[in-house]
Every structure is written in C-alpha cells, then in structure tokens.
Chains A and B, each alone.
Chain A
Amino acid sequence: MPGFILRRALLVLPSLFGLLVVCFLLIRLIPADPAVALAGDNATPAQIEAIRRSYGLDQPLPVQFGRYLMDVARLDFGTSQFSGRAVAEDLAQRLPATLELTVAALLLGVGLGIPLGVLAAVHHNRWPDFLLRVVSVAGIAVAAFWLAIMLQMLFAMRLGWLPLRGQISAGVTPPAGPTGFLTLDCLLAGRLDLLADALRHLVLPAVTLSLGGLATITRFTRAGVLDTLQKDFVTYERAVGYPRGRLIWLYVLRNSVVATVTQIGLLFGGLMAGAVVVESIYDWPGIGSYTVQAILTADSKVMLAVTLLIGLIYAVVNILTDLVHALIDPRLRETR
C-alpha cells in the first residue's frame, strides 16, 4: 500500500508539468497584454514597454516558461502582476477559506446525500424515491447563482436568521492565525462567539455549493444501494436475522458506496469550480474570486499558480479516493 501511494504520487508530477505547459500556452493565446493592464489607464507606450521588460514579457516564450519552471521548482510562484503581492502569499491567505467552504459543502453533500440515497433505494419506486429523484434532478439543474439569491432572500432578508455575505461580521476582529482556517482559529483562540459567527456565515455558501454534489451523491448512493440489495448476501443476512437498521446502514451501505466515493473525489474538483460562483455571490475570500480577478486582468502568474494548486489538490483527492476505496473494500487492498 505505501508503494502504491508512492507510485501514484510520482505520477502526479508529470501530470502537473503537462498541466502547466498547456496552461502556459493557453494564457499566451489570450490576446491581452498584461503589461497594458498593469500600466493603468493613462499609461504612455513607453511606460508599457518598460513594464513589459521588467516582467520579462519581452522574452521568447520558451525562455519565459523555463524561467517560470525554475522559479516553481524553488516554490517561488512569482508576483501577482495585478496586486504586486507574492502569489504564494495570496494563495496561502485564501486557500484555507476555499477549503473550509468546499469541505463544509462536501460534508453537507455526503452527510445528507448518502442517507437520502439510501432512503430512496429502500423505498424504491414509492413516494420517497420519486420525491428524491425529482429533487436530485432539480439539484443538478438549478443554477447555483439563482439558488444563492433565493437563499439570501429567504434566510438573510425575510427571516434574518443568517448573514448575507462575507466570512465573518464586519464589526469583529477575527483571530490572526495560526492555521488560516477561520473556524479552526476561532476555536483555537477559544472565541466561541466568533466561531458561532463564522459558522453562521458559512451556512448559506456551503448549502449553495453542496447542492449539485448532494444531488449526485444521492443518485449514486441510491443506485449503489439498489444494486447491493439484489445481492445474495443481503438475502442471507435477512434470512439469518440481521436487524434491519444495521443491515441497511452498515452491511448494505458499505458495499454500495464505492461508486459514490469515486463521485465524491470527482465532485471535489467540481466544488472548487463551483466555488468561483459561490464565492463571488457571498463575497467569500477564497481562491475562486481571486481567480476571476486574475483572469479579468490577465494576471498570468496567478492563473498558473491557481491551476497548479487545483491540479495538485485534485491529484491528492484522487489518491485519497483510492485509499478510501481500499478502506471500504478489502478486495481492493490486494490488487494494488
């Protein structure tokens, strides 16, 4: 098993390199000249030229790429051409917020999706199943943007239960570390009042982000459980009197979630993408909104670093998915 992880980890490197090459070329296909964006509204051509030189944008493409790779190898992701700040610093500040959001969304999606999927399967072709099928199709079809506004209208405006936007209330000073994960930092600082505030802010974005995933997880769990219910061992387990609750929620479920876990792995990538929209609407200070800004301003160093980061996260999540598979199903432990 450790050998398997090592092999998989080594495979990540060439994938990330390929990702970088493609991304580097794609960014150069955008006609926007970052130097122009940098120079500002009233820049003279000479100013733009000077900026272009200072950022090495006048060099041939392979030279630029080579330099970039050398920098990345030293874990230097360069400076944002837009803000003038180190990209690594920006990402380090923003990634925890996005991870907090996506993990919360994932927990919601898994925590609700799996039970709902099981319920739908157990009540196959009866009303709970029909209801959940309709809801899960709707969950995939509904635009996150629309849902977000509706949730804001209901919970932030009409009922006034939850905050409208942001990660924490404007009037409070959040703890300054040490982890960068706001909820965790509030907890570590012993500020339960701030933790409650942060959690209240987390609810709507996480619910919005989780919806698509929730629907997918529900569908895959339902299909998996339906499939497992046909198996001989379920008949056997019923015949020898396994209590129904444990039979379904333990013995059947564990056999049914392999496909769901694969989906969860894939979903994580989708959640990172979905975070772009959700973070914009709820003003969540994560990498989604940061990336949008970078694209609009042709900030190539940021785009490359974000691509690399998301690629890396995706790879790690996929390795984790395989590990979870092996944990769930002992047969998979030996084929590796």
Chain B
Amino acid sequence: MPVPTLAVEDLRVAIRGDEGVARILDHIAFRLEPGRILGVVGESGCGKSTLIRAILGILPQGAAIGSGRILFEGEDLLAFSQAELNRSVRGSRISFIPQDPYLALNPVFTVGAQMLEVMRRHRPGAPREHRAHLVRLLRRVQLPDAEAALDRYPHQFSGGQRQRLLIAAALACAPRLIVADEPTTALDVTTQQQILLLLRELVEEMGLAMLFVTHDLGVVAELCDEVCVIYAGQSVETGPARALLDAPLHPYARALLACHPDRAEGFLGIPGAVPSPLRAPPGCRFAPRCAQAREACASRAPHPRRAAPGRMVDCILHDPAAVPA
C-alpha cells in the first residue's frame, strides 16, 4: 500500500478558554492519497478550521492535542517544531489557500513581495527567476496582466483575481499537498465555478493532493474524489465521493444531503442544533438529533467501521459488533 499524502488518525484537540475546555475535535480520521482531492464537509462550527490549523501547526494559544497523529508523507507533523514546520513543510510541501481572498492578503505590501517572501526560503534560484516563475504561474491561473500584477497591492484586484493570486502563491513552491479552506465561498457563483475548474485542472496537471474543506456538498460533488463528513468534531463517514453522495450511510450524512437545496423537496432541516464543544454529549455527538438513536449511542466511543470498500462509517447502525435493536 502506498504511503498516503496525508493520514489523520484519531485526532483530538481541545482548547482551554475563559468558559472552560472546549473539545473541538473528538476523533477525526481520514486518509488522502497522492493525486486525489478529499472534501472535508461539515456545518459551520463542526471543527473544520481547527482541523486545518492543526494540520498547518497554527493552533491558537490554549489549544492542546489530546491524541492522534497527523501523518504527512509518513511523518507525524505533530512532532515538528514551529521552526521545522517553517523550514520544510509550510509553504513548501504543504501550501494553503485561505477562505477569504479579500482578507488574506497583507494590504500594505505588493502581492509580489508577499509571494516572493515564501519562495525566497523554499526555492533555489535568484529573485529574478522567482519572479519569472511567478509570472508563469499567474498566467497559468489566468490572471490578466500578470507581469504588472506583482507590483500592485491587494486592494487593486477583484476577489476572483485575488483568489487566483492565492492559488498561484500556493503552487509557487511545488507543494505535495494543498490545504484549501472554503476558497470559493467569498466569491460570486460564476467566479466560483471558474476557480473550481482551475483547481481541478491544476491538481491533475501537477499530480498533487488537495484537502478541500467546505460546507457545500455541491462543490464536493463537482470537485472531490473522496469525502469526509464531520459532525461536531467527529468524522462520521468517509468514502469515495460519488458512492457516498449517492448513498450516505451515516444518519447525519443522510440528513445533510437531504437538506441540500439541489436535492431536498421543500426545505427539511435537521431538528435540534449542533452541540457546543464545551458541553458535548458523551458517545455519539449526533445522537441527540438522530431519529434512529438508541440508548447505547450515548455511551458508544467513536469507533469507525469499514462499511463498504473504501468506506468507513462511525455509527452503531453499521457496527456489526453492536447488538441490533
């Protein structure tokens, strides 16, 4: 079996705040193979951002890793120091496309200066060569007037252009993995389509892996090879995108798909609300909202099971070891 680009195993992250300890991530597990796109799907507040921060090593003050490993090409990133991450991981082998292109660029530096800052450390060659490389990349991401763009400031670009800039920046050092944090949500629908298309092309062209975090199942359907559904900090179901979207197994995944405007006949919400990580229910966190919940759900520790080829589900209903009702 080949080494996956990224394998997250039983990741638990808690953050100590003023109101107590929030167990934001409580058992996250998935694998991302080279050349694939993994969509991580969940509602807002489910822990997607914390997951990204954990992978990139930029968890906020007060955050503590409870357990687990984040294996990047076989190495556990959690064992890396900040300096090591900067030296050999962040910006070079793992790059990042942020959510909001309007806010993610430093407003008082030219985009060229910002993009070159990272390349300076991770690519051999002179600044002039870096510049030329950037211009090629900007042309590739279809940014108009690529040559002049490097000397302009972020506010002189539209949102779509800025996202293209950020994508180019993410590609600048030939990464093995791109972590993308809902990179299209801040954009209008047309631009969104163009950007998704571009990302798809680039991943295929360059043979890299991408972790694509989103709350939008439509985007997942369009872009991703694999899906990982997260609910309240727990990865409840993972599997190939088509299979999972066609026949979700976990009750939460089913409910989530049922809510999607493209599929729902009339609006069907999920009753109840996502529990606060400060007061998460024991056992399966979806149990209080689950129509098929049983008594045992409340005491069942996270325990993903292989439900079909390449598919993992964490639910008592799909656990052969559990006694069916």
Contact = CB atoms under 8 A, between A and B. Distances in A.
A contact residues, range: 20 to 34
Contacts of A232: 98-100, 103-104
B141 to A, nearest CB: 16
B91 A328 contact: no
Interface in B113-152: 114, 117-118, 121-122
A237 B98 contact: no
Contacts of B155: 330-331
Contacts of B170: 240
Interface in A193-246: 231-233, 235-244, 246
A76 interface: no
A263 interface: no
Interface in B302-318: none
Given A232-B103, A235-B58, A330-B108, A240 B153 contact: no
B85 interface: yes
B115 to A, nearest CB: 10
B109 A251 contact: yes
Contacts of B90: 238-241
Contacts of A235: 58, 98, 104
- Which of A235, A237, A329, A330 is packed against the most chain B CB atoms within 10 Å? A235
Contacts of B117: 242, 246, 251
Interface string B86-113: 1001111001101110011111110000
A241 B118 contact: yes
Contacts of A246: 117
B197 to A, nearest CB: 23
B13 interface: no
Contacts of A244: 82, 86
B168 interface: no
A31 B153 CA distance: 60
A240 B118 contact: yes
A326 to B, nearest CB: 11
B82 A237 contact: no
A255 interface: yes
A238 B98 CA distance: 12
- Which of A233, A255, A329 is packed against the most chain B CB atoms within 10 Å? A233
- Which of B91, B106, B117, B153 is packed against the most chain A CB atoms within 10 Å? B106
B136 to A, nearest CB: 19
A233 B102 CA distance: 9
A328 B107 CA distance: 10
Nearest to A125: B61
B96 A331 contact: no
A254 interface: yes
A254 B58 contact: no
A59 B37 CA distance: 90
A114 B10 CA distance: 44
Nearest to B60: A235
Contact of A255 (B85, B108, B118): B108
Interface string B68-88: 000000000000001001100
B227 to A, nearest CB: 23
Contacts of A243: 86, 121
B6 interface: no
Contacts of B179: 239
Contacts of B108: 254-255, 328-331
Contacts of A329: 107-108
A124 to B, nearest CB: 9
A239 B56 contact: yes
B281 to A, nearest CB: 30
Nearest to B96: A239
B106 A251 contact: yes
Interface string A243-273: 1101000010011000000000000000000
B287 interface: no
7 contacts: A233-B106, A238-B58, A238-B90, A241-B85, A242-B86, A251-B117, A330-B107
Given A232-B103, A330-B155, 9 more contacts: A233-B104, A233-B106, A236-B96, A239-B58, A240-B96, A251-B106, A329-B107, A331-B107, A331-B155
Closest 7 CB pairs of A and B: A241-B90, A241-B91, A232-B103, A240-B91, A236-B104, A239-B96, A241-B86
